[in-house]
Amino acid sequence: MEGLLQSIVAWAIEKGLATEDGVDVFRDYLPNDPDAVLVFKEYDATTAPADRMIANRMLQALVRDVTPELAKERCDNLYEAFFDHPEIVRTLENGRWGLFLPTSPPLQLGRDDNDRVRYVFNFSVITRVD
């Protein structure tokens, strides 16, 4: 069974927000190349009592591109794909369910050492324990 980040990457590819895992979308890793990337990272989690088998997982989405306009547009599109819908419980393409909740709006993180612009937003996912 896929982990949460793998499920989210597969969902982003299915939605046309990325093309291929390890090419323009990454998990817990920000490569130097290519310039335009999408990265999902998990930075915290809390679990419910063991008999419930659910966890609240904290994640960050990072979009990097060469121009501020492209980075912002891609980040806004990703944010809308996650949160601009009437149901907050989502079923991803592989059958994993999750309650997706934004914890921050898209924010510019600044430029990296190669002058590429980064935008991020944070969100939580309440889902089953991996």
Q: Residue 99 and residue 58: Cα distance in Å, rounded?
A: 12
Residue 13 backbone dihedrals phi, psi, to 5 degrees: -65, -45
How many structural domains compose the chain? 1
User: CA distances (Å), 84 to each of 78, 80, 103, in order?
Assistant: 10, 5, 14
pTM of the model: 0.90
CATH of the domain at 54: 3.30.2000.10
Beta partners for residue 63, in sequence order: 38, 119
Question: Tens-digit pLDDT profile for the chain (130 aa)?
Answer: 478 899 999 999 999 999 999 999 999 999 999 999 999 999 887 766 666 678 889 999 999 999 999 999 999 999 999 898 777 787 876 778 888 999 999 999 999 999 999 999 999 998 887 7
Tokens of 27: 């998990």
The residue range of the domain holding 79 is 4-128
